[in-house]
Amino acid sequence: MSKTKRSSQRKPLFQTIGVLLVFFLSFVGFVLWAATEPDSELAQAFRNLVGIPDPGHSSAKAEPEEVTEEEAPPIVVALEEPTVENKAKVATPILPTLNYLELCRRSEIWPEKLSLDLSKRVYIRYNGNEYGYMQFTQGMELQVDSLMSSGEVMGWIDGNYLSLLVKETNLEDWFKQAHGDRYDRLVVETEPLAPRSEKEHKVGSPEGDAEFWADMRIWCNRNYDSISLEIQEDTLVFRWLPQEPGPIDFPFEARTIARYYLIERAARGSNENYAACEIRHPVTNELLGASSIFIPRL
């Protein structure tokens, strides 16, 4: 075969190969375009036809991005804003309470003065007689002498020594103002006031008078080693000579005797609320001391 004939036969072959190559390259390009084009409907249809996954949806599990310490965001913990109640709990310490009986044992924190919480007129009565009256007004000043476990506040008003109940004074309000920085409040719990119950027999009857004098003699003998008590028209006279050496507060002892006398009489129906007492030497009759007490509640 001549060279001219072989050359004429190769030319169509090369043309065919070239067309196929162009078609193949075009097809590959189309496939690559369809595989990476996210917005074309034609590309989407082709991908669905041949099973090519959408671009950006790789079946391979993406490795988590490593976060360095410098790039890590700070952890923020939201703190609860304190309410008014919480602030009060933090700012206010829990203070203890003080019992009135404990206050009675701590004379160093007693009040010097209190004021009255009552307004009334009380007649002064002793041994069946009235000796005028005493007018109490709210706010009247009481100079305090002592606090007693029975709930009594002893002191002076206008020179008169008397016994009032805690509830008749402003003791609790005073305590809050004077000691509110150390104690929450004062709890007023008292021992029962003697006598604890009414006696069956009344003074003025033979049985009542006998019981009264028997109780008074026992009490005087137990506390003073003497039973020499006389009821005179306007005073009590107690004859007593202390056996133990040392200073004796005779006015205090005289008030103590007068107070017990009134309480024992009241237990047997008496309306006496005032008594004066003199303590005299049993041999020389010398006046050793005297005082009186007024108990308005009797």
Q: Give the span between the Cα atoms of 47 and 279, in whole angstroms.
A: 127
- Where are any strands of DSSP class E within the chain? 98-99, 113-115, 120-126, 129-136, 141-147, 152-157, 160-165, 186-187, 229-231, 236-239, 274-280, 287-294
Let me know how long the chain is: 298
Per residue in 201-222, pLDDT (tens digit) is 899 999 999 999 999 999 999 9
Q: Which residue has the higher pLDDT, 196 or 118?
A: 118
Structure tokens at 173: 């309000």
Q: What does pLDDT average to over the chain? A: 83
CATH tag for 98-121+133-187 (out of 3.30.540.10, 2.30.30.40, 3.40.50.720, 2.60.40.1930)? 2.30.30.40
Q: Which residue has the tokens 């001391």?
A: 289
* Cis, peptide link before residue 74, omega less than 30° from 0: no
Average pLDDT over residues 12-33: 72
Contact 256, 222 (CB under 8 A): no
Percent of the chain with pLDDT over 90: 58
Contact 123, 272 (CB under 8 A): no
Average pLDDT over residues 242-263: 93
Average pLDDT over residues 142-162: 95
Q: Give the span between the Cα atoms of 193 and 188, in whole angstroms.
A: 14
Angstrom CA distances, 183 to 23, 105, 177, 235, stand at: 103, 16, 10, 44
Per-residue pLDDT at 238? 98
- Band (pLDDT 50/70/90 cuts) for residue 25 is confident
Q: What's phi and psi for 19, nearest 5 deg?
A: -65, -45
Per residue in 29-47, pLDDT (tens digit) is 777 766 777 667 766 776 7
Per-residue pLDDT at 258? 97
Per residue in 279-295, pLDDT (tens digit) is 999 999 999 999 999 99
Give the pTM: 0.67
Under DSSP, the state recorded for 138 is T
- Band (pLDDT 50/70/90 cuts) for residue 8 is low
Per residue in 44-62, pLDDT (tens digit) is 776 777 767 766 554 444 4
Per residue in 92-113, pLDDT (tens digit) is 678 899 999 999 999 999 999 9
Angstrom CA distances, 235 to 3, 57, 89, 91, 177, stand at: 173, 117, 59, 59, 41
Angstrom CA distances, 62 to 36, 58, 69, 92, 109, stand at: 19, 8, 21, 58, 80
Per-residue pLDDT at 74? 62
End-to-end CA distance of the chain: 162
Percent of the chain with pLDDT over 70: 76
